[in-house]
Amino acid sequence: MVVVMSPDATEEQIARVTARVEETGGQAFVSRGVVRTIIGLVGDIDSFHGLNLRSMPGVQEVYRISDPYKLVSRQHHPERSTVHVGPAGAEVAIGPGTFTLLAGPCAVESAQQTLQAAEMAKAAGAKLLRGGAFKPRTSPYAFQGLGLKGLEILADVGTATGLPIVTEVVDARDLDAVAEHAHMLQVGSRNMGNFGLLQAVGDAGLPVLLERGVNATVEEWLMAAEYVAQRGNLDVVLCERGIRTFEPSTSTTLDISAVPVVQATSHLPVIVDPSHAGGRRDLVVPLSRAAIAVGADGIVVDVHPDPEQALCDGPQALHGQELRELATACRKLPPVVGRRV
Amino acid sequence: MVVVMSPDATEEQIARVTARVEETGGQAFVSRGVVRTIIGLVGDIDSFHGLNLRSMPGVQEVYRISDPYKLVSRQHHPERSTVHVGPAGAEVAIGPGTFTLLAGPCAVESAQQTLQAAEMAKAAGAKLLRGGAFKPRTSPYAFQGLGLKGLEILADVGTATGLPIVTEVVDARDLDAVAEHAHMLQVGSRNMGNFGLLQAVGDAGLPVLLERGVNATVEEWLMAAEYVAQRGNLDVVLCERGIRTFEPSTSTTLDISAVPVVQATSHLPVIVDPSHAGGRRDLVVPLSRAAIAVGADGIVVDVHPDPEQALCDGPQALHGQELRELATACRKLPPVVGRRV
Amino acid sequence: MVVVMSPDATEEQIARVTARVEETGGQAFVSRGVVRTIIGLVGDIDSFHGLNLRSMPGVQEVYRISDPYKLVSRQHHPERSTVHVGPAGAEVAIGPGTFTLLAGPCAVESAQQTLQAAEMAKAAGAKLLRGGAFKPRTSPYAFQGLGLKGLEILADVGTATGLPIVTEVVDARDLDAVAEHAHMLQVGSRNMGNFGLLQAVGDAGLPVLLERGVNATVEEWLMAAEYVAQRGNLDVVLCERGIRTFEPSTSTTLDISAVPVVQATSHLPVIVDPSHAGGRRDLVVPLSRAAIAVGADGIVVDVHPDPEQALCDGPQALHGQELRELATACRKLPPVVGRRV
Amino acid sequence: MVVVMSPDATEEQIARVTARVEETGGQAFVSRGVVRTIIGLVGDIDSFHGLNLRSMPGVQEVYRISDPYKLVSRQHHPERSTVHVGPAGAEVAIGPGTFTLLAGPCAVESAQQTLQAAEMAKAAGAKLLRGGAFKPRTSPYAFQGLGLKGLEILADVGTATGLPIVTEVVDARDLDAVAEHAHMLQVGSRNMGNFGLLQAVGDAGLPVLLERGVNATVEEWLMAAEYVAQRGNLDVVLCERGIRTFEPSTSTTLDISAVPVVQATSHLPVIVDPSHAGGRRDLVVPLSRAAIAVGADGIVVDVHPDPEQALCDGPQALHGQELRELATACRKLPPVVGRRV
């Protein structure tokens, strides 16, 4: 941590900062410049946070030097991690070296629609079935998902197709029910800052798919993962699904750079959701190709047997020719960038 | 609702859209242009949403014309509303005609600190005490609030000073405990999209202070209020606390325009939080003046008896001279813009 | 300047950084932490910039400590400045202590429209006439302004009403013509990063009204002012006119906090353009009140005798009742915040 | 164009809108809904723009339906275009079917450095040499480029290596000098809204590389291209180089979706600049791979023989191992997505 004093800081103010640091067992190195003084802190960073140095008289700025996350950081775990999802003996790996396709219907609408979507997903090469039973919607008047009934459908379809289930949990009170039917718990972008849910999910003992909030920096996203990890659960897969910007031609702006940025600083696997990032069917295949090429550990894609009739996000669901193109890309591109499918 | 067909849409595709609209009991007015056809829909808008028209072949764009919120809209309730907070016989009004100051410590740290902060707030003209017992923090390693103990302190200090209590609820599972001690429930910006919490708060029978998410459009914010209202609770006060932009000199960018924008479209009262919007003590007084002048129904401000020792957001808490300036602004400016203090 | 070495930086890499700093005559203070080493640089900051320290092996981050602008900074000129605009003996002051209204038509369309707008502006209390002869437009098919003819109209109307003229220059090749007719040169937001134009305007010997780019940070805006100042022209007035964000209900988001932020760090006067910031007539009066209350040194407002017929930005031009409300706010509010009208 | 009347619009106001449309030779189709009336306009869109319908009483919203650009639109030129750069007989193609690498030094610093960078670029597979002689810099105290001397160096190095030259023009007054030495004129992101420069470049008779402004929507970018095209120059290549968002880990956020979005609506070629988008050397190769896979017609990359000594943007310039990885990606990936190298 570095404390920058303002140009008119007094000697007394400087002394007060160094005294405060030393009280907590840290060391303070003072560099006196022509215009101002800089104080470098050495010691236990966590204890410095409580000091509230930024509020002390004469302090202009405090720069944090090291990353605020620990358990999810590569500094603490240099090798990139692989997360395994699914029943023992039939786990699906998400991590370096492999490329994993997750697919399914945005919302579970009926047993038949879910089964058809799952079969489409499987035929396209998907190894995990992602579908929504609880849907967080901007409007209270929009379809909110089938809830428990949807979980049962997912579980049945998963058994029928042999695909492990990934589904979203939107409320800590639903957690037991969701955990009973799912192999991986999704925390959606709207809940990335719902710390109680993150902690509850961390306690649940299942792998977690943690979407980035549309307004979250990479650092905040990793801090959310730290909330899960702190409960003893390091099986977290991060999912980039677009951030909010001024550009209106896509529903959000896919931050493709976030994939290598995360991989440089965290050991957790990171995948991309090209369906929700763009919100446009015609962009799903090109964005999927970009995600594979940039080095994502997987992608998650919406499919629907009849997008015109979809109750949720129909405009972005793949089927027919586009799904075949996606399958081709998922087969041909990963080997070119050094990954097994 | 207006459906714009793409230039190469066929007659059959146009007919399919109109047929679909008419099946639900609506009417479709077709305007054939030189380049393209436009279809205006008349009837029950909610039924149109389920139609998923955007996914139909030949459809280029669908424009929603009317606002998606109802209960919180001025179209359904033209007069602006006043929300009353506090025990019967001693309610504090927030709404048009008045200007209300809410103040208190960002986090409850101890009985003494809370009492001092409350007395400072009251001396500055505050009519409601806002303090945090449950603190949602970006880092799991940061101070998370005193929890239940903090609620008890708040209740005691509220009784001692005669100020009704406003405090944040971060998890639906804590709701009963919070509701027992508070007169108004705050939903913080991180939870604006936590729909389960909004519904639970809507059921709780207390007025709600609903912060705007730092990434939320005004429309999404009003939709969140609609979630509360739909549960039969129209006592919702909106709080603008800054949105996330590219500008780094403030912690967020106070969207001062949101105040008149909300007041033009919704009947709910709207206040401003200048402390969290800027994140800088030196901006609190100027931003408070701006909020009063733009026509806000109130402001909510952090105060602390000793900001250097604050466990949370010390750099923005007011005390001493700045708090006196705030009190002056809150006394002198509202009458100039037609409000009673 | 502070150089943060990465945790695995070698002693040799640290030595190379310090050697490089010392070669340029600076001093390097090395603080060795448990995890990493921090190097504080003392000396001539400008010479450090050329060192490209960020590219050196072992360097993780370089923090600039002092502000990059000089001439426009309060560190070099602690007192806030007043800029005088207009013919000798009849100058209008913009600066601390006063509040100045600038108004006029967004675009000069005809002699009659300009005269009417100027008279409206004057009646509302405007001290300077702002109108556009050269209009930068997003579309090449939109009205681009009357050009030279417009300048002549402005000059005539200025003489007739006694109001000094403020008008935009969009191309350095037009500068002589504009300077001949104007008392203050406006550089619009689209040209804030047009450094050749900034330098040309700096050479022209007239006061400058420098709009913030809709994508510019406050620091970049002040650096643009530094380009003008570096040519020996310190008569620069800054104009906040909204930044681009995700919020669609206003054309841009007025960054009201930028006013006190600028005033804390630069001595230049700063005004607000509530017309272009919001792009909505119904927001002009509330945003003007907010601008006055936050401490702006003035505002600049679009007026039009017949907004329905305006060739440019009609939806935001004031007339009639709203203009009277603006005049009232400009008369009553400034004294409450300590300014003469 | 669709005009939405407000719910309380009168019959007279509706009649006034339709009369105004019909005066200009258009047709107005009125659809009366339960709550409000919608008017669809048919006819010459350009004439409607001048009508300023948004300012008419009773009008709530005006939606533009068709794209505002014409010459650069696929509606007017359905086939995607190829732009040819370089001397007759040795032109380099940028367009569909091919993948083109542009590379060179961010700034021309000396003859030797430029020659070395050009040779590195050529060895990596570059077909065009991009280097800067005029550098627009945020700070007036930063290196501004060698100017005319730099142009001469570029021309010499181009001749020596056989690579056509792409270089930036920052001021219309320099255009003749730049055009004398360059084969393609670059308009940088800061000047995307400098309409005078766009027009001058449109008149110069050379192909243009038009960077997107960091704050520009795709539509504004295409309108800037329309400014060039309107002067009779359709040889415009668009360059996505990142947009400004709240994310601090990269200098801007590469909007990878913009590539397919542009290709769906405009016939112009579009390339990506991964060096400036991320501003980090470690991201250049992954972002280049993403750009190729998403379907970009080329990429432009900074190289430098000695990044530590670079006078401009050293932290992002490639050399050594990373440049070899880039060359590999540029050779192996394009064929997988159907492009010749």
Write down which residue in B18, B34, B63 finishes a domain: B63
Across the A:C interface, residue pairs with CB atoms under 8 Å apart total 57
| C289 and C254 belong to one structural domain | yes
Does residue A330 have a pLDDT over 80? yes
Same domain membership, residue A131 and residue A216 = yes
**What local confidence, expressed as pLDDT, does residue C45 receive?**
65
Q: What is the DSSP code string of C12-75? A: HHHHHHHHHHHHTT-EEEEEE-SS-EEEEEES-HHHHHTT-GGGSTTEEEEE--S-S--TTBTT
pLDDT at residue B55, rounded to an integer: 79
Residue A70 lies in a domain: no
What is the reported pLDDT for C39?
84
Question: B97: how many CB neighbours lie within 10 A of its CB?
Answer: 11
| Domain containing residue A26 | 2-63
Whether the Cβ atoms of residue A212 and residue A190 lie closer than 8 Å to each other: no
B138, B171, B193: residue with CB nearest A172: B171
> Chain D: nearest CA to C339, how far in angstroms?
34
- Whether residue D226 sits in one domain with residue D110: yes
The rounded distance, in Å, linking the Cα atoms of D189 and D211 is 5
Q: Are B18 and B133 in a shared domain?
A: no
Instruction: Pick the residue of C220, C238, C294 with the most B CBs within 10 A to test the interface with B by mutation.
Output: C294
Instruction: Tell whether the torsion through CA atoms of A278, A284, A289 and A292 is positive or negative.
Output: positive
A44 and A163 fall within a common domain:
no
DSSP 8-state code for residue D138: S
Per-residue pLDDT of chain C (341 residues), as tens digits, is 788 888 889 999 999 988 888 887 788 878 776 677 888 777 766 667 667 787 788 888 888 776 778 899 998 899 999 999 999 988 999 999 999 999 999 999 999 999 999 999 999 999 999 999 998 877 777 778 899 999 999 999 999 999 999 999 999 989 999 999 999 999 999 999 899 999 999 999 999 999 999 999 999 999 999 999 999 999 999 999 999 999 999 999 999 999 999 999 999 999 999 999 999 999 999 999 999 999 999 999 999 998 877 777 777 888 888 999 999 999 999 999 999 88
Question: B touches which chains (3+ CB pairs under 8 A)?
Answer: A, C, D
DSSP B148-168: HHHHHHHHHHHHHHT--EEEE
For residue D113, give every residue at least 6 positions away whose Cβ sits within 8 Å of its Cβ, in sequence order, or none: D105, D304, D305, D306
- pLDDT given at position A12: 92
pLDDT at A130 over 80: yes
Q: Do B40 and D31 touch (CB under 8 A)?
A: yes
CATH number of the domain within which C10 lies: 3.30.70.1140
B66 pLDDT more than 80: no
Residue B78 in domain: no
Residues B42 and B133 in one domain: no
Predicted confidence at residue B138, as pLDDT, reads: 75
* Phi (first) and psi of residue A244, to 5 degrees: -85, 125
pLDDT for position D334 = 97
What pLDDT, on the 0 to 100 scale, is given for residue D308?
77
Q: Are residues B116 and B30 in the same domain?
A: no
Domain-embedded: residue D261: yes
Mutation target for C interface from B294, B316, B333, B337: give the one with most C CBs within 10 A.
B294
Contacting residues of D for C214, CB less than 8 Å apart: 215
Pairing of strands B2-5, B27-32: unpaired
> What is chain C's Cα-based Rg?
23
Mean per-residue pLDDT, A32-44: 74
Q: How would residue D179 be classed by pLDDT, with cut points 50, 70 and 90?
A: very high
- Residues A315, A182, single domain; the answer is yes
Q: Give chain C's contact residues with B (Cβ, < 8 Å).
A: 215, 217-219, 243, 245-250, 253-261, 264, 277-278, 282-283, 286-287, 289-295, 332-333, 336-337
Binned at pLDDT 50, 70 and 90, residue D60 comes out as confident
Q: Quick one: pLDDT at residue D30?
A: 81
Confidence (pLDDT) at B86: 96
Within-domain flag for B10: yes
* Residue of chain B minimizing CA distance to D39: B40
Q: Do D172 and C170 touch (CB under 8 A)?
A: no
Residue numbers in D near C314 (CB within 8 A): 52, 54-55
Summarised one tens digit per residue, pLDDT across range B6-63 is 888 999 999 998 888 888 778 887 877 666 788 877 776 666 766 778 778 888 888 8
Query: Does B190 lie in the same domain as B323?
Result: yes
Give the position of tokens 């390693």: B141
Indicate if the alpha-carbon torsion angle C56, C62, C65, C71 is positive or negative: positive
Nearest CA-CA distance, residue A295 and chain D, Å: 7
Shortest Cα–Cα distance, B33 to chain C (Å): 21
Instruction: State the pLDDT at residue C103.
Output: 97
Residue C140: its chain D contacts at CB < 8 A? Answer: 195, 223, 226-227, 230
Number of folded domains in chain D? 2
pLDDT tens per residue, range A267-309: 999 999 999 999 999 999 999 999 999 999 999 999 999 887 7
Inform me whether the pLDDT recorded for B137 exceeds 80: no
Q: Are residues A138 and A196 in the same domain?
A: yes
* pLDDT at residue B338, rounded to an integer: 93
H helices within A168-300, ranges in order? 175-181, 195-203, 218-230, 258-265, 274-278, 281-294
Measure CB to CB from residue D139 to each of C54, C56, C223 and give the nearest one.
C223
Rounded to a whole number of angstroms, the distance from the CA of C35 to the nearest CA of chain A is: 9
Amino acid at site D222: L
Q: How far is the C-alpha of A303 from the C-alpha of D158, rounded, in Å?
A: 50
User: Per-residue DSSP letters for B88-136?
Assistant: TTSPEEESTTB-EEEEE-SS---HHHHHHHHHHHHHTT-SEEE--SS--
Least confident of B319-323, C283-287, D224-228: B319-323
Q: What is the pLDDT of residues B30-40, one digit of tens each?
A: 877 666 788 87
Cα B171 from Cα D284, distance rounded (Å): 42
Question: Residue D194: what are its φ and ψ, rounded to 5°?
Answer: -90, 90
**What is the per-residue pLDDT for D50?**
65
Assigned domain for B156 exists: yes
Residue D77 belongs to some domain of the structure: no
pLDDT of residue D46: 65
Do D113 and D253 fall within a single domain? Answer: yes
Rg, Å, chain A Cα set: 23
Confidence of residue A50 (pLDDT cuts 50, 70, 90): low
Does any domain span residue A73? no
pLDDT band at B128 (very low <50, low <70, confident <90, very high): very high
Predicted pLDDT of residue C34? 66
Give the CATH number, domain containing residue B320: 3.20.20.70
Is the pLDDT at D166 greater than 90, yes or no?
yes
**What would the pLDDT profile of A250-270 be if each residue is shown by its tens digit?**
999 999 999 999 999 999 999
Q: How open is the CA angle B306-B310-B311, to the nearest 5 degrees?
A: 165
Q: What is the mean pLDDT of residues D196-217?
A: 95
In a domain, A107, yes or no: yes
Question: A106-123 burial string, b = 16+ CB within 10 Å, else e?
Answer: bbbbebebbbbbbbbbbe
**pLDDT of the residue at D247:** 95
Judge whether D237 and D269 are in contact, CB under 8 Å: yes
Provide residues of D within 8 Å CB-CB of chain A: 215, 217-219, 243, 245-250, 253-261, 264, 277-278, 282-283, 286-287, 289-295, 332-333, 336-337
What is the predicted pLDDT for the residue at D45? 65
The residue with greater pLDDT, A228 or C145, is A228
- What are the tens digits of pLDDT across the range A169-207? 999 989 999 999 999 999 999 999 899 999 999 999 999
The reply to whether residue D42 touches residue B65, judged by beta carbons under 8 angstroms, is no
d(CA B105, CA B303): 5
Are residue B52 and residue B149 in the same domain, yes or no? no
- In sequence order, the β-bridge partners of residue D78 are none
